[in-house]
Amino acid sequence: MAKRVLSGIRATGRLHLGNYLGAVKGMLELQDRSDLETLFCVVDLHATTTPYDPKTLPQNTRSVILDYLACGINPGKSALYVQSDLADLIAQLSFYFSTVETIARMQHLPTFKDKVKQHPNNVTMALLNYPLLMAADILIYKAELVPVGIDQEPHLEVAREIARKMNDTYGTKFPEPVRFATSGEYVPSLTGEGKMSKSVEGSYISLTDNLELITKKLAGAPTDSGKGEIVPPTGGVANLLKFVELFEGIEKRKMYEEKYMGEGIRYGDLKKELAEAIYKELKPIQEKRKELEHKTSYVDEVIKSGAEKARKIAQETVLEVKEKMGLVKKLRVNNQ
């Protein structure tokens, strides 16, 4: 049987370069492999674990679906669906998982601690359960490969742990999923600190940004005098060079590094070239997305058939878990 691949993106509106390089590129690579069955979703249930607006969530969810399609996710090859269309099964499975996971373990996750800091008045059960919901997303298809950014490694560790504990406790047969890494798995922030993030203003470039906006955002990225004995390993300059590497190649990066240690870098030129290189990659995606905005019924059909395909597999897993947990009468009568 083909190995399964599952990944999800949170419904927080438009995608940025971090999502694109760290996750979507991996998905594109995997959907072309005939030995794999790929499923990709927009995780709108996860979006409810931090403060959000129920009025705008549907648009945000739809927007990520359009981005997926514009980036090249092919519904003929991959099931593309919205997580909450399977809420009955996924939330159910995450509850079953909660019987084998401790509160202490969830409270100690770095991702949980970050969110507590960001939203101290919203430390809810849903937030604590976030990793279990993600484990359910993956394990409901017994998926073995998960193309996501490196920041998701602690969550994957939880998914593996849950798989083991479920298997040990109830005799289920969950595989232990591993992350599929891409070369752009760590996309730095334009601010010079940490990773590119939707929740940090000035840190990201959206997939929808035009050349002017990209140029403006890059202009705000911190630099230095452009010269020195060693190329700084962290901070604004290091991050800019990482972008050069990601969009213009490693050779270009090396050239700038040599310049830094020699006659010096002119950041105005570097940023102009970089902005053009980034825009060149985004332009076709933006054009495709515009087309898709008018194809309402096509997109509806994609989401519907994606959910149907996903549901067939998910139902089987949930039934199996219920049986193993003693929650349904054995379907097969054993009367020898």
CA neighbor of 188 nearest in space, from 259, 249, 238: 238
Least distance (Å) between residue 330 CB and ligand TRP: 31
Least distance (Å) between residue 22 CB and ligand TRP: 9
When the beta carbons of 85 and 248 are compared against ligand TRP, the nearer one is: 85
| Packing angle, helices 153-170 and 130-139, rounded to 10 | 70
DSSP code at position 12? S
When the beta carbons of 46 and 217 are compared against ligand TRP, the nearer one is: 46
134 lies in the binding site for ligand TRP (CB under 6 A) = yes
When the beta carbons of 6 and 292 are compared against ligand TRP, the nearer one is: 6
Size of residue set near ligand TRP by CB under 6 A: 13
217 lies in the binding site for ligand TRP (CB under 6 A) = no
When the beta carbons of 4 and 155 are compared against ligand TRP, the nearer one is: 155
Least distance (Å) between residue 274 CB and ligand TRP: 25
Q: What does the alpha-carbon distance between residue 281 and residue 283 come to, in Å, rounded to a whole number?
A: 6
The dihedral formed by the CA atoms of 207, 211, 214 and 215, expressed in degrees to the nearest 10? 170
Of residues 149 through 178, those in contact with ligand TRP by CB under 6 A are: 152, 155
Taking residue 10's Cβ as centre, other Cβ atoms within 10 Å add up to: 20
Q: What does the alpha-carbon distance between residue 299 and residue 295 come to, in Å, rounded to a whole number?
A: 6
**Can you spell out the DSSP letters for 47-108?**
HTTS---TTTHHHHHHHHHHHHHHHT--TTTEEEEEGGGGHHHHHHHHHHHTTSS-HHHHHT
Least distance (Å) between residue 322 CB and ligand TRP: 22
Strands 178-180 and 3-10: unpaired
191 lies in the binding site for ligand TRP (CB under 6 A) = no
CA neighbor of 133 nearest in space, from 104, 110, 112: 112
Least distance (Å) between residue 136 CB and ligand TRP: 9
The dihedral formed by the CA atoms of 324, 157, 25 and 193, expressed in degrees to the nearest 10? 150
When the beta carbons of 43 and 66 are compared against ligand TRP, the nearer one is: 43
When the beta carbons of 6 and 21 are compared against ligand TRP, the nearer one is: 6
- Distant-in-sequence, close-in-space partners of 172: CB < 8 Å, separation ≥ 6: 166, 320, 321, 324
13 lies in the binding site for ligand TRP (CB under 6 A) = no
138 lies in the binding site for ligand TRP (CB under 6 A) = yes
7 lies in the binding site for ligand TRP (CB under 6 A) = yes
- Give the contact letters, 35-74, x = binds to ligand TRP (CB under 6 A), - = no: --------x--x----------------------------
Residue numbers of the site for ligand TRP (CB under 6 A)?
Answer: 6-8, 10, 43, 46, 134, 137-138, 146, 148, 152, 155
